[in-house]
Amino acid sequence: MCIGLDVDLQKIPEFLLREEDPIFAFNKAIIDATHHLAVAYKPNLAFYEAHGLKGWKALEKTINYLNENFPEIFTIADAKRGDIGNTSGMYAKAFFEDLNFDSVTVAPYMGKDSIEPFLAYQNKHTILLALTSNAGAYDFQTQIVEREELYKKVIKTSRNWTNGQNLMYVVGATKAEYLREIRKIIPENFLLVPGVGAQGGSLKEVCEYGMSRNAGLLINASRAVIYASNAEDYAEAAAAEARKLQQEMAAYL
């Protein structure tokens, strides 16, 4: 289980807004209450950038807190970046060196030279969008290119890039029925699966169709866990929700 740290000041307990850094205070409490249940945390950059400098500072404090106190936990910068080669190199530096995340999500539209600068960090992980959890995924990702869907073309093509066999892929839980097809192409690669919970994806179907010999699934829950309560008990409520999900996952393993 991965927990998404998508902190929205409208949704966290109101009393936290009196803290000097409400976002970090919230993240720290959620991490302290759930770290024994999660193997990964995934802050989505948008929720931090929306607050400018303060948001970036909260992000830095969050990743530093994770790296210092829970070095065994896998960290994901959910950034969905991608640009021409020299620019993607700068993004890779930002997330892998400056912030020291273990992994970053990237978008495939700009192709090979937009992703290889991330793949060049061999002690880090690059997670490529394949089939996303939202409705807009049907606009282009499932369109047919050379007799197969674009997302399959993305997966197959990306495997040929330098270090491409090390890629992880994003596949939305709301598209669980596609996981069988995807596992035919990449039986062993790790998949990051968002969309369980608030977005309505089925954990059962994700496990049934997506599990590999070594599990191979990092299933993310964000809103369902972190906003389980917005009262004083928010951290305990998040832990209770996380335990419920973790036990469900354990049952499928």
Q: Which residues are catalytic?
A: 80
Q: How many Cα atoms within 13 Å fall on the side-chain side of residue 249?
A: 23
* Collapsed DSSP state (helix, strand, coil) of residue 100: coil
Residue 87 in the binding site for a second copy (CB under 8 A) = yes
d(CA 110, CA 99): 24
- Burial label for 205, CB within 10 Å (0-12, 13-18, 19+), is middle
Q: If binding is defined by CB under 8 A, does position 243 make contact with a second copy?
A: no
138 binds a second copy (CB under 8 A): yes
Out of 14, 19, 93, 233, the only residue in the binding site for a second copy (CB under 8 A) is 93
Minimum Å gap between C-beta 218 and a second copy is: 17
User: Among the candidate windows 46-54, 177-185, 231-239, 243-251, which touches a second copy by CB under 8 A?
Assistant: 46-54
Name residues whose C-beta falls within 8 Å of residue 182's C-beta, 6 or more positions apart in sequence.
130, 131, 152, 155, 169, 171, 191, 210
Beta-bridged to residue 215, according to DSSP, are 212
Distance from C-alpha of 103 to C-alpha of 95, rounded to nearest angstrom: 8
Minimum CB distance to a second copy smaller for 37 or for 167? 167
| Distance (Å, whole) CA 121 – CA 112 | 15
Closer Cβ to a second copy, 29 or 155, answer by number: 155
CB nearer a second copy, residue 121 or residue 252? 121
Q: Which of 99, 104, 207, 218 binds a second copy (CB under 8 A)?
A: 99
Residues that bind a second copy (CB under 8 A): 6, 8, 44, 46-47, 49-53, 55-57, 60, 78, 80-85, 87-88, 90-91, 93-94, 98-99, 107-115, 129, 132-141, 143-146, 150, 153-154, 157, 199
